[in-house]
Amino acid sequence: MRKTLYRYLQGFLVPVTVLAVWQGVSMSGWVSPMILPAPTAVLARWIAYLLPLQPFDPQLSGYIVWMFSGELLHDTYASFYRVMIGFFIGAGLALPLGLAMGASDRMYKLFNPLIQVLRPIPPIAFIPLSILWFGLGNPPAFFLITLGAFFPVLMNTIAGVRHVDAIYIRAARSLGADQKTLFLRVMLPAAAPYILAGARIGIGTAFIVVIVAEMIAVNSGLGYRILEAREFLWSDKIIAGMITIGLLGLAIDTIMNRLNTRLLRWHRGMESR
Amino acid sequence: MNQHAVTGSLASEPCIAVRGLRQVFTGSGEKEVIALDGIDLDIHTGEFVCLLGPSGCGKSTLLNAIAGFTTPTAGRITVNGASVAGPGPDRGMVFQEYALFPWMTVERNIAFGLEIQKAPKETIRGKVDALLTMLQLTEFRDRFPKDLSGGMRQRVAIARVLALDAPILLMDEPFGALDALTRRNLQDELLRLWSTLCKTVVFVTHSIEESVYLADRVAVMTYRPGTIKRDMPIALPRERDPSSPEFNRYMKELTQLVMEEQQRHHVDELRAAESK
């Protein structure tokens, strides 16, 4: 009993210490609150950021709508929406191309040189071009996020298909499988652990890119909000925004991890997770 | 106990006929390896034939050629009169590594062959149920392969092949990775299935004891190039008793033959090591 309590508290030890030191430093007056606001100030700002801006007015909207009208929720939704759109376009393009490149040597030889040149260019480096091509607003952001998600999914799908154990293919062929069955029912599921790992990396990259894209091209979302807060020297809001980014990232990764565990419950490596 | 003994089936057309089979592989860059050379082998319907030899003698290569996974360099293989052009569901393959699809449950693995043949749902259901019962797998139907022991996995692999009613079973050291008790258990199970379902079995093994226990006929292969060194009928009644003097006479004779090839394998390896 005491041991489990101790283990439970152990996880809080370092964060609580860091917060206490931070609070102490802020209260001591050594640093200006504009440089480093106190954790309590950040928390207060975070709550203000979360709550609705206007007082409740039943004539304008329902209670639920009002409850969710805070700036933070709007920004979080905007960022999440962009990640999802960009990720699904990127993964949606990468998956068929990756399957084709993994399964056919000809496709691989055809596309690989171009991909090897494009892949090392960070999506961030596409910002100037994306603004030239798509102007401002959501389109350049979608473009950049798509790029960020595309390559991890593509590379992992190719690797996944290429690593399918030849014995599964032999077994399926001896059971009478044709090319289509072989591809859909053997190669695709056998490559799934790789593909899902790629999707997890891809959505992580998409999340990095969305924050950067919002700092450049749009006027909503968490990335935009922390840059805007800097203009007013609201460091407490900057940190509140950063914490929100962290929480959203954690939420997305947790969902991906759950999805992985569910889809790959047959997989050997998943038992311990 | 078993009716399809060697002598009875000799008169009929062979079920599997291998004629002048030669298989050459190009090794890593430089030289060619003659894996099989001039193999002639007739296997009759209902026969249980073991291919026996040391590792590297090409017994698995021969089995893979019969399965249709490889194209012979020269020579010909016919199965029930038709030339082998590729793998097919008439020759069920059982691998040492089980080769179960890990993303499918036991039930789905067994049903796979029937599903791709687009068999009606009730037929599949009925057949799978019967096979689960026959191989004592019913409690495991919703498990994934990773949760099964080696012996259980091999039962599933056998059920998966039996689902298609393949008249021929090709088995590549299927019990090689199992512990001795599970192995004997599955050997008995296989003999039971073979005699009740009247299958033709080609069984690759490097275990002399296993070959004498199971086979109507043991084809001993030579080490590189692989040829048939001796085609030996095992004229022992079933169930066979591994501790009987007759059993041991066969063991002794076969051990002698296999050891000669093992010796050549050893000399070959020494030579290869010296030339490096």
Residue to mutate among B104, B112, B114, B117, with most A CBs inside 10 A, is B112
In a domain, B162, yes or no: no
- Using the beta-carbon criterion (under 8 Å), do B103 and A192 form an inter-chain contact? yes
- Checking if the pLDDT of B9 tops 50, the result is no
CB < 8 Å to B117, chain A: 176
Interface of A with B in 125-184 (CB under 8 A): 167-168, 170-178, 181
Q: What's the rounded Cα separation, in Å, for the pair A171 and B185?
A: 24
Mean pLDDT confidence for B22-38: 81
* B92 and chain A in contact, CB less than 8 A: yes
- Checking if the pLDDT of B271 tops 90, the result is no
pLDDT confidence of residue A154: 96
Q: Counting beta carbons within 10 angstroms of the beta carbon of residue B38, is it exposed (0 to 12), middle (13 to 18) or buried (19 or more)?
A: middle
Of B68, B88, B93, the CB nearest to A171: B93
In a domain, B134, yes or no: no
Q: Give the model's confidence band at B28: pLDDT under 50 very low, under 70 low, under 90 confident, else very high.
A: low
> Over chain B, what is the mean pLDDT?
88
CB < 8 Å to A189, chain B: 101, 103
Closest to A79 (Cα-Cα) out of A198, A199, A225: A225
Q: Counting beta carbons within 10 angstroms of the beta carbon of residue B155, is it exposed (0 to 12), middle (13 to 18) or buried (19 or more)?
A: buried
Q: Is the dihedral of CA A161, A163, A169, A171 positive or negative?
A: negative
Q: What's the rounded Cα separation, in Å, for the pair A150 and A134?
A: 19
Measured CA to CA in angstroms, residue A181 lies from A177, A219, B87, B198, B245 at distances of: 6, 48, 15, 30, 52
> Hey, what are A34's tokens?
């504009």
Q: How do residues B54-104 score in pLDDT, each as one tens digit? A: 887 888 999 999 999 998 899 899 998 888 888 988 899 999 999 999 999
Q: Give the model's confidence band at B10: pLDDT under 50 very low, under 70 low, under 90 confident, else very high.
A: very low
Mean pLDDT confidence for B42-56: 90
Measured CA to CA in angstroms, residue B42 lies from A216, B87, B200, B202, B225 at distances of: 76, 19, 12, 11, 19
- Checking if the pLDDT of B5 tops 60, the result is no
Of B144, B161, B164, the CB nearest to A266: B144
Report how many domains make up chain B. 1
Residue to mutate among B64, B98, B103, with most A CBs inside 10 A, is B103
Q: Residue B247 maps to which CATH number?
A: 3.40.50
- Using the beta-carbon criterion (under 8 Å), do B103 and A181 form an inter-chain contact? no
Contact B53, B257 (CB under 8 A): no
In a domain, B208, yes or no: no
Of B103, B145, B164, the CB nearest to A189: B103
Strand partners, B39: B21
Rg (CA), chain A: 24
CB < 8 Å to B89, chain A: 174-176
The C-alpha of B138 sits at a distance from chain A's nearest C-alpha, in angstroms, of 19
Of A168, A174, A268, the CB nearest to B101: A168
Q: What's the rounded Cα separation, in Å, for the pair A193 and B251?
A: 47
pLDDT confidence of residue B238: 87
Closest to B56 (Cα-Cα) out of B27, B26, B36, B75: B36
Q: What's the rounded Cα separation, in Å, for the pair B184 and B53?
A: 20
10-residue stretch averages of pLDDT, chain A, 273 residues long: 77 90 89 88 91 80 80 92 95 95 93 94 93 92 95 96 92 91 92 94 93 91 93 92 93 92 80 42
Of A168, A170, A181, the CB nearest to B116: A181
Which strands, in side-by-side order, build the sheet including B228-233?
B91-94, B168-172, B200-205, B48-52, B217-221, B228-233
Closest to A213 (Cα-Cα) out of A132, A131, A150, A154: A131
- Name the residue in chain A with its Cα closest to that of B161: A175
- Using the beta-carbon criterion (under 8 Å), do A175 and B160 form an inter-chain contact? yes
Contact A211, A62 (CB under 8 A): no
pLDDT confidence of residue A1: 62
- Checking if the pLDDT of B30 tops 60, the result is yes
pTM for the model stands at 0.82
Mean pLDDT confidence for B228-251: 90
CB < 8 Å to B97, chain A: 167
> Hey, what are A225's tokens?
């909000």
* B142 and chain A in contact, CB less than 8 A: no
CB < 8 Å to A167, chain B: 95, 97, 99
Of B86, B103, B112, the CB nearest to A175: B112
> Hey, what are B174's tokens?
């299927």
SS3 A37: coil
pLDDT confidence of residue B203: 95
Kind and range of the H or E run holding B117: none
CB < 8 Å to A191, chain B: none
- Using the beta-carbon criterion (under 8 Å), do B99 and A167 form an inter-chain contact? yes
Mean pLDDT confidence for B4-11: 45
Mean pLDDT confidence for B236-257: 91
Q: Give the model's confidence band at B4: pLDDT under 50 very low, under 70 low, under 90 confident, else very high.
A: very low
CB < 8 Å to A266, chain B: 102-104, 144-146
Q: Which domain holds residue B38?
A: 6-85+216-274
- Checking if the pLDDT of B153 tops 60, the result is yes
pLDDT confidence of residue B273: 83
Of B95, B103, B144, the CB nearest to A171: B95
Contact B24, B33 (CB under 8 A): yes
* A74 and chain B in contact, CB less than 8 A: no
Domain residue ranges in chain A: 73-163+194-264
Of B67, B93, B146, the CB nearest to A268: B146
In a domain, B139, yes or no: no
Residue to mutate among A167, A169, A174, with most B CBs inside 10 A, is A174
Q: What's the rounded Cα separation, in Å, for the pair A213 and A223?
A: 8
- Name the residue in chain B with its Cα closest to that of A187: B101
